[in-house]
Amino acid sequence: MFLAEKIFLIVNSYAGHKAGEKTVDVVVPYLLNKGFEVEYSFTNHPGHATELAIKAASEGYDLVVAVGGDGTANEVAQGLFGSHTVMGIIPIGSGNGLARELGISMNIRESLKTLIDGKTLLLDVCNLNDQRFLCTCGIGFDALIADKMSKTSSRGFFGYVKLVMKEINTYKPVDVRMKIDGVPFEEPVFLITFANSSQFGNKAYIAPGASMTDGLIDVVIVKEFDSVWIPVIAFALFFKLIPKLPFVSCYKAKMIDIELADTKYFHFDGEPGKLDVPAMISLNTEKIRMCCRN
């Protein structure tokens, strides 16, 4: 069991349909009543959660908690890499992939119990070039959707599904040439996911065999397919069957070198980025301490 005395909450007030402020009204009194010293701050610009996490770690907080979705969790993690400060999550986002992966409840009071009674795991951290990520990174269709989602006001699961259905029938596969632990691969792809965790979020499992503690990156390559497969893919994602599809190849690796990718998009933990090729996906030498369910 991890025992904390000083807790700092980093709150995305816009996450979960602007549920951040209401969440604070529940969380802070609960933790104070349990005898903890608690401070919190709201984020107000991109990257602010990282700045707040760095400051909280330097000020000696035992536990820094991301109150938000996967984007908030990723930013907080960026600020805690290389420190001994433990990270926690109270998930109020739309996907909450990292929290689900760690067995953290979507119920606020249950997730609070994890902060108090949970255990600490050392989690693998991955890089795409200089960009760290905890859960998944990818190129292809999901990266295109991440970019478009960042520019729309229609958030949440149903907004995501609506955008996918709009884009999928006109999407053109991406030409890729890369080496997976030195083994060449060259072929047009629908998408490639580099996975440290098993899911995107919302229990959509792109890499069911992935582990955040095994020291390996799962590489899931979805090749070109006929449109009749679209509903099958949706079913497979939610029933952990993606690796069984005939146009999907899966590997485990320590390093992937992307030599060619006919796309400018990539995503890291659902956040959009611009891809610079050549690119390398690898394991970081640092790990992160994460509070998760027993």
Sort strands 183-195 and 217-223 into parallel, antiparallel or unpaired: antiparallel
Q: Where are the domains of the chain?
A: 6-117, 131-285
Q: In this structure, what are the phi and psi dihedrals at residue 79, rounded to the nearest 5 degrees?
A: -80, -15
Model pLDDT, residue 48: 97
Angle between helices 156-167 and 141-149 (to 10 degrees): 130
> Would you say residue 3 has pLDDT above 90?
no
Assigned CATH topology for domain 131-285:
Tumour Suppressor Smad4 (2.60.200)
Are the beta carbons of 98 and 73 closer than 8 angstroms? Answer: yes
Q: How confident is the model at residue 293 (pLDDT cuts 50, 70, 90)?
A: confident
pLDDT in tens, 81-139: 989 999 999 999 888 999 999 999 999 999 999 999 999 999 999 999 999 999 999 99
pLDDT in tens, 45-72: 999 999 999 999 999 999 999 999 888 9
What is the percentage of the chain residues whose pLDDT exceeds 70? Answer: 97
Alpha-carbon dihedral angle through residues 26, 59, 86, 8, given to the nearest 10 degrees: 10
Among 99, 128, 92, 103, which residue's Cα sits nearest to residue 201? Answer: 99
Q: Which residues have CB under 8 Å from 285's CB, separation 6+? A: none
Are the beta carbons of 279 and 130 closer than 8 angstroms? Answer: no
| CATH superfamily of this structure's domain 6-117 | Probable inorganic polyphosphate/atp-NAD kinase; domain 1 (3.40.50.10330)
Global pTM value:
0.92
What is the separation, in whole angstroms, between the first and last Cα of the chain?
A: 8
